[in-house]
Amino acid sequence: MRRSQFLKAGAGLFCLGLTSEHSLASLGGTARARLKSSATQSLPYPASDYRETVLGRAGGTIRASVAIDTGSLDPHAISATNCEWIGRILFDNLVYLDEHGNATPWLATSWTISPDGKTYRFFLRDDVTFSDGAKFNAEAVLVNLAHMRDPATKSPLAASYIQPYASGRALDEYIVELMLHAPYSPFLNVLAQSFLGLESPKAILDRPKTLGGHPVGSGPFVLESYLPQKGMSFIKRRDYHWAPPLIGHQGPAYLDRMEFEFVPDASVRYFSLASGEYDFTIDAPPQAAGAIAADSTLELTSRVRMGCPNRGIAFNVDKFPFDDVNIRRAAALSIDREGIADVVGFGLYRPIANFLAENTPFYDPSFADQLNFNRALANAILDQAGWSARDTDGIRLKDGQRLAATAIVTQSYTSIPMIVEMQADLKKIGFALQLEQIPLSELLQQRNSGQYQAMTAGVWHTNTPDALYINYHSSQIPSHLHGGQNVSRLTDAALDMLLEQARETNDPVLKKTLYAQAQARLVALVPAVPLYDNQSVIAYQSRLQGVVYDTSHETPLFQTVWLESMAA
């Protein structure tokens, strides 16, 4: 059994913190099967998860809890995870992905791409309006793209996703042409993400500074109120009738109203759901997974987000000892991912030893096992690399130097237990990993200067394999002038070329080949230690029906949710 029996959650101590091994053993057969199903559902997910299959009942209000506030409801100005599902409540997008990652119509009914991959022409719906009465048309698209790139928006995500966008023009009221600096094959994928949801052009132009608290979209719900750090409420837009055709839902949402409360304490989110105070919780606490599975009145789902999985630690390949690929490979092989996933995810998280989540387009399973836990092989690699001697503490030596490094970390609900487990695993092969916990501001300074040996790296969710470019291309190394995500500071000409070519081609056969080669190269270079998938965990009352999942983010679409019973 792993060491963590209790985990801090908010200000309180959450006493449902049994390890998954213990939790599963203590559950009845039905509950055990429900928990296992939620954790191990095969990927990719079935098409039925993304489509409405039964007509629902209109009416009613639901109350829901969510862990944290986004600080703003302007999707162009935030990178918060909650934007993924809030975006589908308030906003619509030009395109929507199918379950295979292919773009399908939404507010754009069709589009063409020039042979050189640099010009996109979109043909738009002519019956869509924003909730303030503004028309959706070609000009609205251009105003939104300009807002994403406006320095005043301070976009942490949307602007970077459309960085290749050069200019656009309206060819007709409902035909818009967008020109790129260079071919950019992820363009349609990123246009489908909630972070690029379309806002009212009138609101953008008339009151850009108030969009964070009073956004206006064309989505199935309208914001009624938003109280920072307290909650938000939404009411149904009764004339809505332009949902993505792929989800199979016609007309307005079923629910009349939704109320969300920000509840940082994980124990409160669980107990208030179990008691019926809330109907739904985003960020369902993994510690409570066993209890939720054992409760016949509750439903639990845990779904893998596309992109890069949790990289427990990123190595600075410019610094000793991680400038030696043998050290990096041995370290990665020494990590017991299944054990760590148990500690952090309590049976819900899926361990993974690859650099791309397996439901991401062009994931290649050929490399899934090459960095799997293998302590014997890790020891053999270090012996062969000349680190065979040991000091009195069992730490390896070479030419009188200890095999040791420091990883910088910040306080986090998951990162501290995770990195402590990694530290223990590394010590078993004679590697001394010291942990230096520092404030986020200081960590960002060191991250940008490159003055660290290793650091916790987290996840990167996006609905395209271009996540590999974002995290490992040499142009993405962070600096004081550029906030890139390549915290391994990896520079590899072969990998760069593969990722650049994959960005430039729209040929699916060629992209498959290029991304397979990129994944093989990353497994050979080992710039980080992938641990477990980035997962979206929700729980809700069984009387809620019609939960359909968004294809880009694996989060719920609330317009299809309905109440089987109107009982309070």
State residue 428's pLDDT score: 98
Instruction: Give me the tens of pLDDT residue by residue for the chain, a chain 568 residues long.
Output: 343 332 333 333 344 443 344 344 556 666 666 666 666 677 889 999 999 999 999 999 999 999 999 999 999 999 999 999 999 999 999 999 999 999 999 999 999 999 999 999 999 999 999 999 999 999 999 999 999 999 999 999 999 999 999 999 999 999 999 999 999 999 999 999 999 999 999 999 999 999 999 999 999 999 999 999 999 999 999 999 999 999 999 999 999 999 999 999 999 999 999 999 999 999 999 999 999 999 999 999 999 999 999 999 999 999 999 999 999 999 999 999 999 999 888 889 999 999 999 999 999 999 989 999 999 999 999 999 999 999 999 999 999 999 999 999 987 655 778 899 999 999 999 999 999 999 988 998 999 999 999 999 889 999 999 999 999 999 999 998 878 899 999 999 999 999 999 999 999 999 999 999 999 999 999 999 999 999 999 999 999 999 999 999 999 999 999 999 765 4
- How many angstroms separate the Cα of 46 from the Cα of each of 28, 37, 98, 192, 247? 27, 14, 11, 20, 13
Ranges for all domains in the chain classified under CATH 3.90.76.10: 92-207
Q: Which one-letter amino acid corresponds to residue 239?
A: D
Helix (H) / strand (E) element for 364: namely none
Q: Which one-letter amino acid corresponds to residue 23?
A: S
Alpha carbons 79 and 460: distance in angstroms, whole number: 11
CB 381 within 8 A of CB 327: no
Please name which of 285, 310, 287 lies closest in space to residue 19, comparing C-alpha atoms.
287
State residue 46's pLDDT score: 93
Structure tokens at 153: 């928006």
State residue 19's pLDDT score: 37
Tokens 């070479």 identify what position? 398
Alpha carbons 380 and 385: distance in angstroms, whole number: 9
State residue 440's pLDDT score: 86
CB 282 within 8 A of CB 288: no
State residue 251's pLDDT score: 97
Name which CATH class applies to 307-533.
alpha beta
Superfamily of domain 1-73+223-305+539-568, CATH level 4: Periplasmic binding protein-like II (3.40.190.10)
Alpha carbons 558 and 386: distance in angstroms, whole number: 58
Q: Has domain 92-207 been given CATH number 3.90.76.10?
A: yes
CB 455 within 8 A of CB 415: no
**What are the start-end ranges of the H helices in 360-480?**
375-384, 415-427, 440-449, 467-472
Q: Residue 33: what are its φ and ψ, rounded to 5°?
A: -65, -40
Please name which of 45, 5, 40 lies closest in space to residue 22, comparing C-alpha atoms.
5
Alpha carbons 324 and 500: distance in angstroms, whole number: 26
Ranges for all domains in the chain classified under CATH 3.40.190.10: 1-73+223-305+539-568
Give this prediction's pTM: 0.92
The whole-angstrom distance between residue 545's C-alpha and the CA centroid of its chain comes to 25
Ranges for all domains in the chain classified under CATH 3.10.105.10: 307-533
State residue 44's pLDDT score: 84
State residue 7's pLDDT score: 33
* Burial call 500-536: b when 16+ CB within 10 Å, e when fewer: ebbbbeeeeeebebbbbbbbbbbbebbbbbbbbbbbb
State residue 73's pLDDT score: 97
Structure tokens at 206: 């008339």
The whole-angstrom distance between residue 162's C-alpha and the CA centroid of its chain comes to 18
State residue 1's pLDDT score: 37
CB 488 within 8 A of CB 315: yes
Alpha carbons 522 and 468: distance in angstroms, whole number: 9
- How many angstroms separate the Cα of 518 from the Cα of each of 134, 267, 447, 487, 515? 45, 42, 24, 18, 5
